[in-house]
Amino acid sequence: MGFYSRVIFPRICDLLLDTPLVREHRQKLLAPTDGRILEIGFGTGLNLPHYPSTVRQITAVDTNPGMLKLAARRIAQTQIEVDRRTLSSEQLPLDSESFDCVVSTFTLCSIRNVSQSLAEVFRVLKPGGRFLFFEHGLSPDPGVQKWQRRLNWLQKQIGDGCHLDRNMRDLVAEQPFSRLESTEFYLENMPQTHAFIYTGCATK
């Protein structure tokens, strides 16, 4: 992993993904979390302040050691015990049916084999467990889609593998969840190529 990915990119994420509007959506997404929790793409720990006070422990995975290093400050400020693991969600060394909730925010865009990662999410969830997601992706507007695909090569370079044109709802729906609720909208004050959001809950 190069210097940009390990040192520069985590700081860019920490700055751009911590706006008041995004914080509001994080809090809404995480409000129902309980039980044993796994967060994939933990990043710099931006979700930590938004978990409900009843959450005492989470397992956090991320492939980027620079992200986890930057997360240390937020981990030190929280009452939540964080079990940090530097590994890919495409192959989780975790027991099947062992988590009540899996959380993903701004993560599925960057995973190389995202379908394999979601299959792992499904595997480790308990029956009745929930996958909570807040992701950017493919716009339904053909004009925006055109630019998302034109800019995808550049986004993958500066976004450390991030794709602009993934239909997150369809990707989640590939897994045999019993129920999928998804809301889609544009975040305000952002370029539409980067601002189309999929957020929701898939129940096993």
Domain range list for the chain: 3-203
Q: What is the pTM of this model?
A: 0.95
Take residue 92 and report the two structure tokens written for it: 């989780």
CA distance 183 to 124: 24
Distance CA 176, CA 108 (A): 18
Strand partners, 81: 57
The pLDDT tens digits of the residues spanning 112-150 come to: 999 999 999 999 999 999 999 999 999 999 999 999 999
The pLDDT score that the predictor gives to residue 122 is 98
- Helix, strand, coil in percent for the chain, rounding step 5: 40, 25, 35
Each residue's pLDDT tens digit, 21-43: 999 999 999 999 999 999 999 99
Considering only CA atoms, which of 77, 24, 15 is closest in space to residue 43?
15
Quickly name the fold that domain 3-203 has: Rossmann fold (3.40.50)
Alpha-carbon dihedral of residues 163, 66, 40, 85, nearest 10 degrees? Answer: 150
Per-residue model confidence (pLDDT) at position 21: 94
Alpha helices in the chain (DSSP H): 3, 9-16, 20-30, 65-70, 72-77, 114-124, 142-158, 168-173, 192-195
How far does Cα 112 stand from its chain's mean position?
A: 14
In this prediction, residue 1 carries a pLDDT of 77
